[in-house]
Amino acid sequence: MSGNIELLSATLAKAKSEDRAALVAYLPAGFPTVDGGIEAVKAVIAGGADVVEVGLPHSDPVLDGAVIQTADDIALRGGVKIADVLRTVREAHAATGAPVLVMTYWNPIDRYGVERFATELAAAGGAGCILPDLPVQESALWREHADEHGLATVFVVAPSSKDERLATITAAGSGFVYAASLMGVTGTRESVGNEAQELVRRTRATTELPVCVGLGVSNAVQAKEVAGFADGVIVGSAFVKLLLDAPDLPSGLAAVKALAGELADGVRRG
**Smallest Cα–Cα separation from 64: which of 188, 165, 175?**
188
E strand map for 104-196: 128-130, 152-154, 156-157, 177-180
Half-sphere exposure of 112 (CA within 13 A, CB side): 21
Q: Is 53 a catalytic residue?
A: yes
Asked if residue 267 lies in contact with residue 223, where contact means CB atoms within 8 angstroms, the answer is yes
Catalytic hit among 39, 50, 53, 231: 53
Q: Is 138 a catalytic residue?
A: no
Instruction: Identify the helix (H) or strand (E) that includes residue 250.
Output: helix 249-266
* CA angle (214 as vertex; 267, 9 as ends), nearest 5: 65
Catalytic hit among 19, 35, 39, 64: 64
User: Is the Cα torsion angle 29, 34, 40, 45 positive or negative in sign?
Assistant: positive
Q: CA 191 to CA 218: how far, in whole Å?
A: 9
Which residues are the active-site residues?
Answer: 53, 64
